[in-house]
Amino acid sequence: MILPWPDDALYRYLQEPEPASDDVRLAALVAQRLAIDWTTRHQQIEVTVQNRVVILSGTVANLEVRRVAGELAWDVPGVLDVCNTLRQPGRRRLRG
């Protein structure tokens, strides 16, 4: 499940007539947590959840924002793992 950032995912989750899967619920909760935190709320973060593993992708202002986003995702009950692929604009990966 992919939820664009920022999104009203929690609102849509609560309005669904059928219970959503754990992955959808976790994605909504992580997106909400990122939306209300002052460090991450204005960043371009996409939240994906597969088998209770949160995948954070997109761009952020700096490494501190990346760290905070990962910690916020880990703090959501039910998350088994976090794959933090957030990066700064203009920075390239180093090849090993």
As given in the structure block, the two tokens for residue 4 are 């664009």
Q: What is the per-residue pLDDT for 21? A: 83
Q: What is the per-residue pLDDT for 89? A: 84
Q: What is the per-residue pLDDT for 1? A: 46
Q: What is the per-residue pLDDT for 95? A: 54
Classify 63 as helix, strand or coil.
Answer: helix
Averages of pLDDT over each 10 residues, the chain, 96 residues: 55 59 93 96 95 96 96 96 93 57
Q: What is the per-residue pLDDT for 2? A: 52
Q: What is the per-residue pLDDT for 96? A: 47
Domain boundaries, the chain: 2-84
Among 40, 41, 37, 47, residue whose Cα is nearest residue 4:
47
